[in-house]
Amino acid sequence: MAAASSVDTSYSTTAAFRNHDFRVYFIGQLISVSGTWMQNLAQGYLVFQLTQSEAWLGIVACAAGLPIVLTSPVAGVIVERFPRRWLMLATQIAQMSFAIILALLSLTNTVQVWHIVLLALLLGATNALDVPARWTIVSEIVGPEDLKSGIALNSILNSGSRVVGPTVAGLILVRFGAAACFLLNALSFVAVIISLLMIRVRYPIPTSTGSRPAQQLIEGFSYVQRDALIRTLLLLAVVGGVFILPLLQILPAYADRVLRSPEEGYAAVAAAQGIGSVAAGALIGLLSARFGYRLLIPVSCVLANLAAFGMALVNTIPAACVMAFLNGFFMILMYISVNMWIQLTVPNAYRGRVLALYTLSFTGLTPFGALVLGLVANLVSTPVALMVYAAAGCAVGLWVWGSYAWRQHGRDISVPDDNRA
């Protein structure tokens, strides 16, 4: 990593909205990702109703993550070799098709759990390309001046969708069933497809054509291996993906077994977690300026896990919503801080490959963590499994950050002012 110097971590969270193309992109993504969260909630509900098994929740989630684990490094090379907008158009059209198939299977009452597993595998394959492309295109739309704002707003978008999607899904699920949620998700892709066709990419990152794909892959791994900070941030993303995010996958079982409210309780807790995430996104600029990423990241990791531990100790919807709010707040605070530090540090030449590894770390490994969490919950109980996972997440997160901080003791590890050339 280039020699570090102090950087002004303060910024206006909404600055990127000055950019017309980003506004169009944001609206399209907000509609589409809200539909995706709507489908996620309905799919989890449907899987649990079909199987009455926490383990099957983990298996379906694992199916969605397996293609990301297997293809993310290669996907990073592809993202750097092709225009990000056209890659996203292809993935969005494919994902719309999967939602239509799931809606038709549900409407005809022919859906089986293996259908959902297969569609989850296909969805994961497209997400391996879509997620790093989505993060990269933000920098191409807003440019370096508003990059921090663009990253924060993109995270708020994802978090806000977790409020809108589950809230709407909870209402629709009770009145019309899971099929209606899947159909609405399919329709939501129209908005993002139109927005991608409308926007202009003013700050395009040149596509990579010089090295062979295999050589690019090796170079990406070598860069991460050499840079202790990036390597540590990716390891912390692994901690988040394995120990913190899997809570989302087990919420259907938690609502049914602990709260005794498989529909309203599930929607309420999911929405509370989403509201906490939005609050974190709105406050990240202020908090990063006040405390810096070096403090925010380990503290957020610990507090997110403690909030999950607290959920295991309560059995009422209001108390669970409070814990879920705190879990969502600190989970997204950690997520944005890690993402922000990576994007402000990694050079453009490696951006696609590093963000693909970040996708693998924070998103691709989540389903495998959810699978283990579901199996543990089947063996003992959902609350005990949550407590075990939360304690392990705290311990591993502190060990990863503590090891790095010890090795860097006395050195300046702040974010470089400009290392993105």
Q: Is residue 3 part of a domain?
A: no
DSSP state of 204: P
**Encoded tokens for 235:** 């390891």
**Encoded tokens for 10:** 């303060």
pLDDT above 90 covers a percentage of the chain that reads 29
Q: What is the dihedral of CA 6, 140, 74, 340, to 10 degrees?
A: 30
Q: What is the dihedral of CA 136, 142, 144, 148, to 10 degrees?
A: -80
Beta carbons of 32 and 189 less than 8 angstroms apart: yes
Domain span at residue 33 reads 15-204+211-407
With DSSP H G I counted as helix, E B as strand and the rest as coil, what are the percentages for the chain, rounded to 5? 80, 0, 20
Residue 420 has pLDDT above 60, yes or no: no
Q: What is the pLDDT of residues 347-396, one digit of tens each?
A: 877 777 787 778 777 776 787 787 888 888 888 888 999 999 999 999 99
Q: Is residue 10 part of a domain?
A: no
Question: How far out from the chain centre does Cα 140 lie?
Answer: 20
Residue 322 has pLDDT above 90, yes or no: yes
Q: Is residue 55 part of a domain?
A: yes
| pLDDT at residue 244, as a whole number | 87
**CA–CA separation, 237 vs 339, rounded Å?**
9
Residue 279: C-alpha distances to residues 98, 180, 287, 354, 385 (Å): 32, 29, 12, 27, 27
Q: Higher confidence at residue 384 or residue 61?
A: 384
**CA–CA separation, 71 vs 77, rounded Å?**
10
| pLDDT at residue 93, as a whole number | 95
The SS3 of residue 135 is helix
Q: Is residue 415 part of a domain?
A: no
What number is the average pLDDT over the span 21-50?
Answer: 88
**CA–CA separation, 230 vs 415, rounded Å?**
11
Please name which of 89, 251, 243 lies closest in space to residue 169, comparing C-alpha atoms.
251
Q: Is residue 249 part of a domain?
A: yes
pLDDT category at 216 given cuts 50, 70, 90 is low
Question: How far out from the chain centre does Cα 263 lie?
Answer: 23
| pLDDT at residue 222, as a whole number | 82
pLDDT category at 7 given cuts 50, 70, 90 is very low
Residue 278 has pLDDT above 70, yes or no: yes
Lowest pLDDT segment from 1-5, 170-174, 320-324: 1-5
Residue 405: C-alpha distances to residues 240, 280, 297, 413, 416 (Å): 18, 25, 12, 9, 17
pLDDT above 70 covers a percentage of the chain that reads 90
| pLDDT at residue 194, as a whole number | 95
Q: What is the pLDDT of residues 298-315, one digit of tens each?
A: 999 999 999 999 999 999
pLDDT category at 94 given cuts 50, 70, 90 is very high
**CA–CA separation, 105 vs 126, rounded Å?**
21
pLDDT category at 208 given cuts 50, 70, 90 is low
* 102-117 as b/e: b if 16+ CB within 10 A: bbebbeeeebeeeebb
Q: Is residue 6 part of a domain?
A: no
Residue 283 has pLDDT above 80, yes or no: yes
Residue 391: C-alpha distances to residues 76, 244, 246, 372 (Å): 33, 11, 14, 15
Q: What is the pLDDT of residues 289-301, one digit of tens each?
A: 888 888 999 999 9
Q: Higher confidence at residue 73 or residue 5?
A: 73
| pLDDT at residue 155, as a whole number | 74
* CATH code of residue 49: 1.20.1250.20
| pLDDT at residue 252, as a whole number | 81
- Cα-flanking dihedrals φ and ψ of residue 410, to 5°? 90, -5
Q: Is residue 284 part of a domain?
A: yes
Q: Is residue 414 part of a domain?
A: no
Q: What is the mean pLDDT of the chain?
A: 83
Tally of domains within the chain? 1
206-220, 381-395, 400-414: which has the highest mean pLDDT? 381-395
Q: What is the pLDDT of residues 122-177, one digit of tens each?
A: 998 898 888 888 878 888 898 888 888 888 788 778 766 766 777 777 778 778 88
Angle between helices 264-291 and 247-257 (to 10 degrees): 140
What number is the average pLDDT over the span 206-221?
Answer: 65
